Each structure stands twice: as structure tokens, then as C-alpha cells.
């Protein structure tokens, strides 16, 4: 403090200094404990390496889910449970990066909600790589160029992302996790935009649909132009004086755009569920979900017959989706999600019965129920 700088009368300087000293000492302890935790993670990596398994997998989704759930259960406030879990999410992400930096392909470009979902799930130490289409995310994981992929699967307003489901039919990849993201859409413009002259609005078709009522009310005459992603929309308007984009906050930040109207989605609790795809079946975490795909000939009562074993063995369904099969006319595939892991006894019994009633049954994976 310089000599002519006087402490303000209003500032309770003494208590503030004391509290900041206390915070400094707590931070020093937290720092030491985080370092000790990181050294433990390094030792875990040594144990894994010494196991002699041909392919060592450092990322353990079931363990991460347990660590995050424990952080929430232990929490006594004043921070909220989710806030506490997010802090642990970041610590664990940094610890995993010491073991092996994890590579994740997502539906790009940079700034999409899928990238946001990837960072929410893996933490910010993950190396995320944008792919231009969903098929490419699957291909990168299949080729071993990345460890995991993240793809959108359903939106609470617009329903299922058919392209993702169709990719599973021909793929041997496993679902290793799920993550849900609240989706807030914003109308954004660039520094060259004449805001009173907006005649074109770019976004992904699903985002345009999710903001339809707002657009009808505020920009009834503007042309709505669907592009591959909302991040692409954000990128595109930088050179167009009469255009705006609908995208998320991450895209606005990344491309230096100004948000004109916030949270313009028609449904206030608009959210999207994303799947984590990888090559391995995940062991049980204690609170899991399973996804399967079953092919059924179209006959009266086929769906009832397919679902009946779940009810009999008290397995809770969380989603049933139908798609026409590509392999034959009048054959349908059902994507079914339910609570439980394929190693659970009741799930095993239900699936054994289902297998007898369908022409084809594929387990897409059992994975921890989304924590964050």
C-alpha cells in the first residue's frame, strides 16, 4: 500500500485480513492434498501397467461415477451437490491426464453443445477433437485414433437423433456413459451485423425447431437456414451483415459474437442427452443403465411380446424407440434403455427371455447413470 493510500473507513480491514489468511492456509492444505491424490493416481497407473493386460485402460467410468456420487453424498453445503461434484470432476480429470491424456472425438466444430457435453463428462484435461459428422465420430473410435466419442442421442423437445441410433446398428462400439446438458439457445450477431436488418438466421435444424415460436414472434419474415451445427452457424455470420445465428454461449465466446437475445428456446427445460462411445464393456457402478437393440418382424402384438419380460422380471424401462430396419421390408428395430446392468440377475433373466422372442438382439452397453 502506498503512503497516500488510506484504508477506507467502511472496510472492516481486520476481519478481512484474518479471513484471507485463513483462506490462504486452507488453500495450502487443499493444494497439498490434491498433490497427494495425484501421486496416488500415478501409483494406480503403475499398478494397471504391471497387471500384464495387453491393453491397459486408465479411464474407469464406473469408478469415476462412484467418486462423483460420494462427493455429492458427503457434501454438507454451503456449496450445492452439483457444484461440489464439478470440482471433483476437474480434479479427477487432471489426475487421469497424469496417467494418460484421454482423447475424445465429438460432433464438431469447436463450440458445439456436444463439445460442452464432452467437457462436462470428461473434465477440461481431456483432449477433444471435432468431427464434422456423427459417422466420423464412430469411425475415429473404431479406428483407435481416439479413446472415446461423444454423440447426441435425444433432445427433450425434438426427440431422437436418428443418425446416432442408425450408426449403432452397424457398429460394434459400446456405450460407456451418458451425459445430459441443459440447452440454452441465444440469438447472436457479429460486429458487422446491422441488427435492424436481419433477414437470415442460421442454425442447426433441431435448434431452429426448438426456437420456432420465438422466431415466429420476433423474426417472422427472416429466412431460417439450417446448417450442419450451430457452431458452424456462429462461424458463418462473421462475414454477413444481414445475418444472425442461434447457438450456445460457448460458440458466442469462441467466435467473438454478441448475444442479442438470451435463452430463446420455446421449452424452458430443454435438454439433450449425449452418449459416450468406446470399445469396452464397463463393469457395474452400483447405479447403471443398459441399452439394447432388438430386431422384430412386424406382426400383431410383437412389441408387447418384446417388452413383457421386462415387466415380469421387474426391470424398469426408461426409453423405447422404433426405427425401420435397413435389412428387410417390414422388419423393425427397437432401441430399448432400461435401469440396471447386464451383470444384474434380473436383467440377465429378462434378456434371456427377450432373446428367444426376437430375430436379433444386440447389447449396446451397460454404463453408469449420468451423475452430473
Ligand X SMILES: O=C(O)C(=O)C[C@]1(C(=O)O)C=C[C@@H](O)C=C1
Q: Residue numbers of the site for ligand X (CB under 6 A)?
A: 41, 44, 58-60, 63-64, 67, 92, 95-96, 99
- Closer residue to ligand X in complex, CB, 42/205: 42
- Closer residue to ligand X in complex, CB, 34/352: 34
CB of 286 to ligand X, least distance (A): 15
CB of 293 to ligand X, least distance (A): 27
CB of 44 to ligand X, least distance (A): 4
Rounded CA-CA distance 353/285 in Å is: 25
CB of 33 to ligand X, least distance (A): 13
Q: Which residue is nearest to ligand X (CB)?
A: 95
Mapping DSSP onto H, E and C, the string for 84-138 reads: HHHHHHHHHHHHHHHHCCCEEEEECCCCCHHHHHHHHHHCCCCEEEEECCHHHHH
CB of 62 to ligand X, least distance (A): 9
- Closer residue to ligand X in complex, CB, 88/168: 88
Report the candidate in 303, 367, 319, 360 with the shortest Cα–Cα distance to residue 341.
367
- Closer residue to ligand X in complex, CB, 121/313: 121
Report the candidate in 198, 250, 249 with the shortest Cα–Cα distance to residue 224.
198
CB of 66 to ligand X, least distance (A): 9
- Closer residue to ligand X in complex, CB, 46/269: 46
* Contact partners, residue 362, CB within 8 Å, separation at least 6: 292, 293, 294
Beta carbons of 88 and 82 less than 8 angstroms apart:
no
For the CA atoms of the chain, what is the radius of gyration?
24
- Closer residue to ligand X in complex, CB, 283/349: 283
Report the candidate in 118, 173, 153, 174 with the shortest Cα–Cα distance to residue 366.
174
Number of helices (H), then strands (E), in the chain: 12, 15
Amino acid at each position: 500500500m502506498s503512503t497516500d493510500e488510506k484504508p477506507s473507513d467502511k472496510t472492516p480491514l481486520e476481519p478481512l485480513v484474518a479471513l484471507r489468511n485463513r483462506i490462504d492456509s486452507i488453500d495450502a492444505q487443499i493444494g497439498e492434498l490434491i498433490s497427494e491424490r495425484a501421486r496416488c493416481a500415478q501409483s494406480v497407473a503403475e499398478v494397471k501397467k504391471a497387471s500384464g493386460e495387453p491393453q491397459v485402460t486408465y479411464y474407469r467410468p464406473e469408478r469415476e461415477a462412484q467418486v462423483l456420487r460420494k462427493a455429492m453424498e458427503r457434501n454438507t453445503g454451503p456449496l450445492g451437490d452439483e457444484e461440489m461434484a464439478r470440482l471433483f470432476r476437474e480434479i479427477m480429470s487432471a489426475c487421469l491426464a497424469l496417467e494418460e491424456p484421454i482423447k475424445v472425438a465429438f460432433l464438431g466444430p469447436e463450440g458445439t453443445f456436444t463439445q460442452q457435453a464432452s467437457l462436462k463428462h470428461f473434465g477440461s484435461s481431456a483432449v477433444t477433437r471435432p468431427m464434422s459428422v456423427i459417422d466420423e465420430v464412430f469411425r475415429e473410435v473404431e479406428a483407435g485414433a481416439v479413446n472415446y466419442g461423444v454423440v447426441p442421442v435425444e433432445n427433450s423437445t425434438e426427440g431422437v437423433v436418428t443418425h446416432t441410433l442408425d450408426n449403432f446398428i452397424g457398429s460394434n462400439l459400446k456405450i460407456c456413459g451418458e451425459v445430459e446438458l441443459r440447452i440454452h439457445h441465444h440469438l447472436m450477431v457479429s460486429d458487422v451485423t446491422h441488427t435492424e436488418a436481419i433477414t437470415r438466421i442460421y442454425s442447426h435444424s433441431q435448434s431452429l425447431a426448438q426456437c420456432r415460436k420465438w422466431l415466429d414472434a420476433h423474426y417472422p419474415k427472416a429466412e431460417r437456414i439450417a446448417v450442419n451445427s450451430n457452431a458452424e452457424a456462429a462461424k458463418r455470420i462473421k462475414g454477413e451483415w444481414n445475418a444472425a445465428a442461434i447457438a450456445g454461449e460457448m460458440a458466442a465466446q469462441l467466435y467473438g459474437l454478441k448475444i442479442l437475445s438470451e435463452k430463446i428456446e420455446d421449452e424452458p427445460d430443454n435438454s439433450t442427452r449425449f452418449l459416450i462411445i468406446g470399445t469396452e464393456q464397463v463393469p457395474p457402478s452400483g447405479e447403471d443403465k443398459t441399452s439394447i437393440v432388438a430386431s422384430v418382424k412386424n406382426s400383431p402384438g410383437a412389441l408387447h411380446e418384446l417388452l413383457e419380460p421386462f415387466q415380469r422380471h421387474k426391470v424398469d424401462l426408461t426409453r423405447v424407440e422404433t426405427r425401420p430396419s435397413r435389412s428387410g421390408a417390414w422388419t423393425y428395430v427397437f432401441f430399448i434403455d432400461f435401469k440396471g446392468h447386464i451383470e444384474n440377475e434380473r436383467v440377465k433373466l429378462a434378456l434371456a427371455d427377450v432373446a428367444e422372442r426376437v430375430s436379433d438382439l444386440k447389447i449396446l452397453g451397460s454404463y453408469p447413470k449420468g451423475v452430473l
